[in-house]
Amino acid sequence: MSIPKAQVVVYPGSNCDRDALWACKYVGFDAEFIDIHSDIDADLLVLPGGFSYGDYLRVGAVAAREPIAQKIKDFVDRAGLVIGICNGFQILVEMGLLDGALLQNSNGRFLSKIVELEVLDNTTPFTSYFLKGERIRLPIAHGFGRYVKTCDVNTVVRYVDDVNGSDELIAGITNANKNVFGLMPHPERAIEKILGSDDGLRVFLSAFNYIRNNGGVRL
Protein backbone atom coordinates (compact mmCIF):
# COMPACT_ATOMS: atom_id res chain seq x y z
CA MET A 1 0.00 0.00 0.00
CA SER A 2 1.47 3.30 -0.99
CA ILE A 3 2.15 6.26 1.28
CA PRO A 4 -0.57 8.90 1.13
CA LYS A 5 0.51 11.65 -1.23
CA ALA A 6 -0.20 15.37 -0.91
CA GLN A 7 0.35 18.08 -3.48
CA VAL A 8 0.43 21.77 -2.62
CA VAL A 9 -0.67 24.00 -5.49
CA VAL A 10 1.55 27.07 -5.75
CA TYR A 11 -0.20 29.93 -7.51
CA PRO A 12 1.70 33.10 -8.45
CA GLY A 13 1.55 34.99 -5.15
CA SER A 14 0.86 32.04 -2.82
CA ASN A 15 3.01 32.45 0.27
CA CYS A 16 1.92 29.81 2.78
CA ASP A 17 2.90 26.99 0.46
CA ARG A 18 6.11 26.09 2.27
CA ASP A 19 4.28 26.05 5.60
CA ALA A 20 1.64 23.74 4.12
CA LEU A 21 4.28 21.38 2.73
CA TRP A 22 5.99 21.28 6.10
CA ALA A 23 2.72 20.36 7.81
CA CYS A 24 1.97 17.59 5.29
CA LYS A 25 5.43 16.09 5.63
CA TYR A 26 5.26 16.40 9.40
CA VAL A 27 2.38 13.91 9.58
CA GLY A 28 3.88 11.55 7.04
CA PHE A 29 2.57 12.56 3.63
CA ASP A 30 4.75 12.15 0.60
CA ALA A 31 4.38 15.81 -0.31
CA GLU A 32 5.45 18.05 -3.18
CA PHE A 33 4.69 21.39 -4.83
CA ILE A 34 2.88 21.67 -8.15
CA ASP A 35 2.11 24.74 -10.23
CA ILE A 36 -0.88 25.89 -12.26
CA HIS A 37 0.24 23.93 -15.34
CA SER A 38 0.86 20.64 -13.56
CA ASP A 39 -1.24 17.50 -13.55
CA ILE A 40 -2.72 16.29 -10.31
CA ASP A 41 -1.39 13.05 -8.87
CA ALA A 42 -2.31 13.05 -5.21
CA ASP A 43 -4.66 11.82 -2.52
CA LEU A 44 -4.82 15.23 -0.85
CA LEU A 45 -4.63 18.54 -2.65
CA VAL A 46 -3.77 21.65 -0.63
CA LEU A 47 -4.61 25.15 -1.82
CA PRO A 48 -2.44 27.26 0.50
CA GLY A 49 -2.79 30.75 1.90
CA GLY A 50 -1.27 33.87 0.43
CA PHE A 51 -2.08 36.62 -2.02
CA SER A 52 -2.49 34.87 -5.36
CA TYR A 53 -2.21 37.48 -8.11
CA GLY A 54 -1.81 40.02 -5.31
CA ASP A 55 -5.55 39.70 -4.62
CA TYR A 56 -5.62 42.54 -7.07
CA LEU A 57 -9.07 42.07 -8.60
CA ARG A 58 -11.10 40.03 -6.11
CA VAL A 59 -9.51 37.62 -3.69
CA GLY A 60 -8.87 34.33 -5.42
CA ALA A 61 -10.60 35.43 -8.61
CA VAL A 62 -7.75 35.06 -11.08
CA ALA A 63 -6.31 31.93 -9.47
CA ALA A 64 -9.72 30.23 -9.62
CA ARG A 65 -9.68 30.43 -13.40
CA GLU A 66 -6.21 29.06 -14.07
CA PRO A 67 -5.47 26.01 -16.27
CA ILE A 68 -5.39 23.75 -13.22
CA ALA A 69 -8.98 24.68 -12.25
CA GLN A 70 -10.62 22.03 -14.41
CA LYS A 71 -8.21 19.36 -13.17
CA ILE A 72 -9.09 20.29 -9.59
CA LYS A 73 -12.78 19.95 -10.39
CA ASP A 74 -12.19 16.52 -11.92
CA PHE A 75 -10.18 15.52 -8.85
CA VAL A 76 -13.06 16.57 -6.61
CA ASP A 77 -15.49 14.55 -8.71
CA ARG A 78 -13.25 11.53 -8.19
CA ALA A 79 -13.69 12.06 -4.43
CA GLY A 80 -10.17 13.38 -3.97
CA LEU A 81 -9.60 15.33 -0.74
CA VAL A 82 -9.05 19.08 -1.10
CA ILE A 83 -8.24 21.52 1.69
CA GLY A 84 -8.26 25.24 0.93
CA ILE A 85 -6.65 27.43 3.61
CA CYS A 86 -7.31 31.17 3.73
CA ASN A 87 -6.57 32.31 0.15
CA GLY A 88 -7.13 28.67 -0.79
CA PHE A 89 -10.64 28.87 0.68
CA GLN A 90 -11.25 32.06 -1.28
CA ILE A 91 -10.11 30.30 -4.47
CA LEU A 92 -12.42 27.33 -3.84
CA VAL A 93 -15.35 29.70 -3.37
CA GLU A 94 -14.51 31.57 -6.58
CA MET A 95 -14.27 28.18 -8.32
CA GLY A 96 -17.77 27.31 -7.21
CA LEU A 97 -16.53 24.20 -5.35
CA LEU A 98 -17.72 25.73 -2.07
CA ASP A 99 -20.76 27.92 -1.52
CA GLY A 100 -20.93 31.46 -0.22
CA ALA A 101 -18.59 34.42 -0.53
CA LEU A 102 -15.60 35.80 1.37
CA LEU A 103 -15.60 39.56 1.72
CA GLN A 104 -13.60 42.17 3.58
CA ASN A 105 -13.42 41.88 7.37
CA SER A 106 -16.14 43.99 8.92
CA ASN A 107 -13.67 46.43 10.49
CA GLY A 108 -11.90 46.88 7.17
CA ARG A 109 -8.55 45.74 8.54
CA PHE A 110 -6.18 42.84 8.24
CA LEU A 111 -6.18 40.77 11.41
CA SER A 112 -3.39 38.49 12.62
CA LYS A 113 -3.94 36.63 15.89
CA ILE A 114 -4.64 33.25 17.44
CA VAL A 115 -8.39 32.72 17.91
CA GLU A 116 -10.62 30.20 19.59
CA LEU A 117 -12.78 27.99 17.39
CA GLU A 118 -15.41 25.36 17.99
CA VAL A 119 -15.47 22.13 15.97
CA LEU A 120 -19.06 21.49 14.92
CA ASP A 121 -18.64 18.55 12.57
CA ASN A 122 -16.16 15.79 13.32
CA THR A 123 -17.47 13.43 10.66
CA THR A 124 -15.39 14.88 7.85
CA PRO A 125 -12.11 13.32 6.67
CA PHE A 126 -10.33 16.41 8.06
CA THR A 127 -11.80 16.51 11.55
CA SER A 128 -12.16 12.91 12.68
CA TYR A 129 -9.53 13.41 15.37
CA PHE A 130 -11.52 16.14 17.08
CA LEU A 131 -14.44 15.86 19.46
CA LYS A 132 -17.74 17.43 18.51
CA GLY A 133 -17.98 20.74 20.33
CA GLU A 134 -14.25 20.76 21.06
CA ARG A 135 -12.64 24.18 21.44
CA ILE A 136 -9.37 24.63 19.60
CA ARG A 137 -6.97 27.52 18.94
CA LEU A 138 -5.75 28.35 15.45
CA PRO A 139 -4.12 31.47 13.99
CA ILE A 140 -5.91 33.71 11.54
CA ALA A 141 -4.21 36.23 9.29
CA HIS A 142 -6.50 37.77 6.72
CA GLY A 143 -8.17 40.93 5.50
CA PHE A 144 -10.98 39.24 3.55
CA GLY A 145 -12.35 36.55 5.86
CA ARG A 146 -15.94 37.62 6.35
CA TYR A 147 -18.00 34.62 5.25
CA VAL A 148 -21.30 35.55 3.65
CA LYS A 149 -23.86 32.77 3.51
CA THR A 150 -25.72 32.48 0.23
CA CYS A 151 -27.38 29.12 0.88
CA ASP A 152 -27.34 26.32 3.45
CA VAL A 153 -23.88 25.05 4.06
CA ASN A 154 -22.12 22.44 6.21
CA THR A 155 -20.24 24.40 8.86
CA VAL A 156 -17.26 22.47 10.22
CA VAL A 157 -15.63 25.10 12.46
CA ARG A 158 -16.93 28.38 13.73
CA TYR A 159 -15.35 31.27 15.64
CA VAL A 160 -16.22 31.41 19.32
CA ASP A 161 -16.17 35.23 19.27
CA ASP A 162 -16.88 37.45 16.30
CA VAL A 163 -13.57 38.42 14.71
CA ASN A 164 -14.47 39.48 11.20
CA GLY A 165 -18.25 39.69 10.91
CA SER A 166 -18.76 36.23 9.35
CA ASP A 167 -22.39 35.08 9.12
CA GLU A 168 -23.12 32.66 11.97
CA LEU A 169 -19.42 32.99 12.92
CA ILE A 170 -18.59 30.52 10.13
CA ALA A 171 -14.85 29.84 9.90
CA GLY A 172 -14.70 26.68 7.83
CA ILE A 173 -17.10 24.63 5.68
CA THR A 174 -17.24 21.58 3.45
CA ASN A 175 -19.20 20.73 0.35
CA ALA A 176 -22.07 18.27 0.50
CA ASN A 177 -19.75 15.27 -0.06
CA LYS A 178 -17.42 16.53 2.66
CA ASN A 179 -14.32 15.94 0.54
CA VAL A 180 -13.65 19.66 -0.01
CA PHE A 181 -12.81 21.63 3.13
CA GLY A 182 -12.29 25.37 3.13
CA LEU A 183 -11.31 27.36 6.21
CA MET A 184 -9.92 30.83 6.91
CA PRO A 185 -7.78 29.89 9.97
CA HIS A 186 -4.35 28.34 9.35
CA PRO A 187 -4.01 24.79 10.70
CA GLU A 188 -0.58 24.48 9.07
CA ARG A 189 0.67 27.19 11.45
CA ALA A 190 -0.45 25.26 14.50
CA ILE A 191 1.33 21.95 14.29
CA GLU A 192 3.95 22.46 16.97
CA LYS A 193 3.48 23.69 20.54
CA ILE A 194 6.50 25.95 20.23
CA LEU A 195 4.53 28.01 17.70
CA GLY A 196 1.74 28.70 20.18
CA SER A 197 -0.73 25.91 19.40
CA ASP A 198 -0.61 22.43 17.92
CA ASP A 199 -4.36 22.03 17.39
CA GLY A 200 -3.89 22.23 13.65
CA LEU A 201 -1.87 19.02 13.59
CA ARG A 202 -5.01 16.90 13.88
CA VAL A 203 -6.47 18.33 10.67
CA PHE A 204 -3.60 16.86 8.70
CA LEU A 205 -3.50 13.68 10.80
CA SER A 206 -7.21 13.11 10.18
CA ALA A 207 -6.73 13.48 6.43
CA PHE A 208 -3.67 11.22 6.47
CA ASN A 209 -5.43 8.44 8.32
CA TYR A 210 -8.62 8.76 6.29
CA ILE A 211 -6.58 8.12 3.16
CA ARG A 212 -4.69 5.26 4.80
CA ASN A 213 -7.91 3.58 5.91
CA ASN A 214 -10.05 4.25 2.84
CA GLY A 215 -7.43 4.19 0.12
CA GLY A 216 -6.51 7.25 -1.85
CA VAL A 217 -7.81 8.33 -5.25
CA ARG A 218 -4.59 8.30 -7.23
CA LEU A 219 -5.08 6.84 -10.69
- Active-site positions read 86, 186, 188
Asked whether position 205 contacts another protein by CB under 8 A, the answer is no
Asked whether position 161 contacts another protein by CB under 8 A, the answer is no
Asked whether position 204 contacts another protein by CB under 8 A, the answer is no
Among 5, 6, 7, 19, binds another protein (CB under 8 A): 19
> What residues contact residue 146 under an 8 Å CB cut-off, 6+ apart?
102, 103, 104, 105, 106, 164, 165, 166
Kind and range of the H or E element at 202? helix 201-214
Instruction: Please report how close the Cβ of residue 202 comes to another protein at its closest, in angstroms.
Output: 16
Rounded to the nearest 10 degrees, what angle do helices 201-214 and 17-27 cross at? 60
Instruction: Please report how close the Cβ of residue 108 comes to another protein at its closest, in angstroms.
Output: 10
Among 41, 70, 110, 116, binds another protein (CB under 8 A): 110
CA-derived radius of gyration, the chain: 16
> What residues contact residue 191 under an 8 Å CB cut-off, 6+ apart?
22, 23, 26, 27, 198, 200, 201, 204
Asked whether position 57 contacts another protein by CB under 8 A, the answer is yes
Is residue 81 within 8 Å of 179, Cβ to Cβ? Answer: yes
Pairwise CA distance, residues 183 & 185, whole Å: 6
Asked whether position 186 contacts another protein by CB under 8 A, the answer is yes
Among 3, 13, 101, 198, binds another protein (CB under 8 A): 13
Instruction: State the residues that interact with another protein by CB under 8 A.
Output: 12-13, 15-16, 18-19, 22, 49-51, 53-57, 62, 65-66, 109-114, 139, 141, 143, 186, 188-189, 191-192, 194-196
